[in-house]
Amino acid sequence: MNFNSYRWCVASSCTNNSIKTPEKLFMKVPDDIEMRNVWLELANRDPKSLSTKSRLYLCEDHFDLEQDMANYMEYKIMGSVKHVKMKENTTPSRFSFHTEEKCIVSPSTSQTALTNTQSLDFVQGSILFNLLV
């Protein structure tokens, strides 16, 4: 096994790595400290807890490859690329813990909205009734 090429996804909710999911692309977290912090915060990781010297990666699951990858067409046509090139200022956008939050919030929100609509209908109905009388 070549340990030099071992890559693992730094996202807190993700367990992908180059051994378990070798077919996945791993994007290197930028060296630029500001971008690095942005990526790590999005991945729900504390940038301070990770050495700035260590190479960190996020797997393709957290990107919209077609949008974010500069040589996506090459990858698509050739099936692989030597180096994944990400577009400038690209940030990862897909994390399951964001989706989970939305799932918890939405049922109660829609219920409240429904109740509001019903009471509004009732008010409008009684106004209309009063006008008719």
Task: Write out the residues near Zn ion by the rule CB under 5 A.
Answer: 9, 11, 14, 16, 59, 61
- C-alpha to C-alpha distance for 58 and 15, rounded to whole angstroms: 10
CB of 9 to Zn ion, least distance (A): 3
- Smaller CB distance to Zn ion: residue 16 or 72? 16
- Smaller CB distance to Zn ion: residue 19 or 78? 19
CB of 16 to Zn ion, least distance (A): 4
CB of 73 to Zn ion, least distance (A): 23
- C-alpha to C-alpha distance for 74 and 84, rounded to whole angstroms: 10
DSSP output for 41-89: HHTT--GGGS-TTS--EEEGGGS-HHHHBTTHHHHHHHS--SS--BPTT
- Smaller CB distance to Zn ion: residue 61 or 68? 61
